[in-house]
């Protein structure tokens, strides 16, 4: 016997959310994905740089910039 959609909806509403953080808006989610995509693009580009102190410095600089802006939460298109 398959549960009906009404039953599933009733069950999900009656149970509190197990998420620790509040859900984010769609705009915030899209912006977060863009940031992660930019980070991956930077890391992929750095892999092409031959291993050297310069490559390490570039990676450290990029990471420091991302960390410095970690708490920015304004979503601007």
pLDDT score recorded for residue 41? 97
Rg (CA), the chain: 21
> Can you give the pTM of this predicted structure?
0.65
Tens of each residue's pLDDT in the chain, 77 residues:
565 655 555 555 566 667 677 788 888 899 999 999 999 999 999 999 999 999 999 999 999 999 999 988 876 75
What pLDDT sits at residue 40?
97
Distant-in-sequence, close-in-space partners of 25: CB < 8 Å, separation ≥ 6 = 75
Query: Is the Cβ–Cβ distance between 28 and 74 less than 8 Å?
Result: no
Cβ 44 vs Cβ 36: under 8 Å? no
């Amino acid at each position: 016997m398959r549960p009906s959609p009404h039953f599933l909806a009733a069950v999900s509403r009656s149970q509190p959310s197990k998420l620790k953080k509040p859900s984010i808006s769609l705009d915030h989610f899209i912006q977060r994905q863009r940031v992660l995509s930019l980070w991956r693009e930077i890391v992929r580009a750095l892999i092409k740089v031959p291993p050297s102190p310069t490559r390490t410095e570039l990676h450290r600089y990029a990471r420091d910039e991302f960390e410095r802006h970690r708490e920015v939460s304004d979503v601007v298109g």
